[in-house]
Amino acid sequence: MTQTRGYKVAVLGAAGGIGQPCGLLMKMNPLVTELSLYDIAGTPGVAADVSHINTAAQVKGYAGDAELGAALKDADLVIIPAGVPRKPGMTREDLFKINAGIVAGLTEACATHCPNAMINMISNPVNSTVPIAAEVLKKRGAYDPKKLFGVTTLDVVRAKTFYAEKNGLETAKVDVPVVGGHAGITILPLLSQATPKAEMDAATIEALTKRTQDGGTEVVAAKAGKGSATLSMAYAGAVFADSCLRAKNGEAGVVECTYVESNVTDARFFASKVTLGKEGVETIHGLGELTPYEKAGLDGMMAELNDSINKGVEFAKAL
């Protein structure tokens, strides 16, 4: 039997496009007893609104630097969707200039006010923001690689949806592991390991792989200047946060693909299937058997992924 206790969850960037629906979904999570909504502005309104929902979590809004410490104090889980989103024509890498500093500042505050919290990093470019957070925490003596996660759940959510649609399968029963990172070719769905198994020709596999890799860009183009995925990301973020909380609460066998410090490949950070436990990462799973197409995808991403990791590490070391 697992014992249920409540947790304090903080959302940083809670007045934003992802932060608002993510806060809403966390308010509906029965494992959350305290929900802390932080942003540079606008959170009192968001918190007042969400707090009227008749679920157990107590909601508080915090606005501005002076309130960041109180927002984070003793949090069990911190979800970070703070920072700027893409506009058409931009890559996730173009966000580095602004978001690197934002993420570094927020992670520094986590080291001070909730050094034992699990951190779910959503802010882009995830391939670099996770290494930045790791270095900042390390400098403060608060880095536990088991508790720092890049959220790649939206890639899995997309791969499941597209795979199910293409093969006429029930979406809710489909699973597709997605490995690598969270940008373009570093996103690699392992369609040969998808369940239930469906026979697909090479052209279909390539089309599904590309659509998953370009899923974010598809939304950026459709929103035509009004930002990137927010609602599907809030859903994915809430799914991943719920998995972290369930594992923390003692549930066994909770598995998610997530971008963590890893020995699975040469890249220091890599997303693959991870079993979550009470203290965060329990087991990082290997890649299993890859097809030649998947192997080529893996080889092809390594230079870009390592560059993004190094860029994040260098940025944080220079702070």
Ligand X SMILES: NC(=O)C1=CN([C@@H]2O[C@H](COP(=O)(O)OP(=O)(O)OC[C@H]3O[C@@H](n4cnc5c(N)ncnc54)[C@H](O)[C@@H]3O)[C@@H](O)[C@H]2O)C=CC1
Would you name the residues annotated as active-site residues? 182
Q: Shortest distance, CB of residue 81 to ligand OAA, whole angstroms?
A: 10
Positive or negative torsion for Cα 106, 82, 186, 310: negative
Q: Applying CB under 6 A, which of residues 12, 118, 137, 159 lies at the interface with ligand X?
A: 12
Label the pairing between strands 269-277 and 7-12: unpaired
Q: Applying CB under 6 A, which of residues 107, 124, 128, 209 lies at the interface with ligand OAA?
A: 124
Q: Residue 81 binds which one of ligand OAA, ligand X, none, with CB within 5 to 8 A depending on kind?
A: ligand X
HEC secondary structure over the chain: CCCCCCEEEEEECCCCCCHHHHHHHHHCCCCEEEEEEEECCCHHHHHHHHHCCCCCCEEEEEECHHHHHHHHCCCCEEEECCCCCCCCCCCHHHHHHHHHHHHHHHHHHHHHHCCCCEEEECCCCHHHHHHHHHHHHHHCCCCCHHHEEECCHHHHHHHHHHHHHHHCCCHHHCECCEEECCCHHHEEECHHHCECCCCCCHHHHHHHHHHHHCHHHHHHHHHCCCCCCCHHHHHHHHHHHHHHHHHHCCCCCEEEEEEEECCCCCCCEEEEEEEEECCEEEEECCCCCCCHHHHHHHHHHHHHHHHHHHHHHHHHHCC
Is 69 marked within a binding site? no
Q: Is the Cβ of residue 196 or residue 269 nearer to ligand X in the bound state?
A: 269
Q: Is the Cβ of residue 76 or residue 93 nearer to ligand X in the bound state?
A: 93
Q: Residue 40 binds which one of ligand X, ligand OAA, none, with CB within 5 to 8 A depending on kind?
A: ligand X
Is 150 marked within a binding site? no
Binding window for ligand OAA (CB under 6 A); candidates: 59-67, 84-92, 159-167, 279-287: 84-92
Q: Applying CB under 6 A, which of residues 120, 213, 230, 306 lies at the interface with ligand X?
A: 230
Site string for ligand OAA, 217-256 (x = CB under 6 A): x-xx-------xx---------------------------
- What's the rounded Cα separation, in Å, for the pair 200 and 312? 38
Q: Residue 219 binds which one of ligand OAA, ligand X, none, with CB within 5 to 8 A depending on kind?
A: ligand OAA
Q: Shortest distance, CB of residue 135 to ligand OAA, whole angstroms?
A: 22
Binding window for ligand OAA (CB under 6 A); candidates: 5-13, 59-67, 85-93, 195-203: 85-93
Q: Is 126 in the site for ligand X (CB under 6 A)?
A: yes
Q: Is the Cβ of residue 85 or residue 297 nearer to ligand OAA in the bound state?
A: 85
Residues contributing to the site for ligand X (CB under 6 A): 12-13, 15-19, 39-40, 81-86, 95, 99, 102, 105-106, 122-124, 126, 151, 154, 182, 227-230, 233
Q: Which residues are annotated as a binding site?
A: 13-19, 39, 86, 92, 99, 122-124, 158, 233
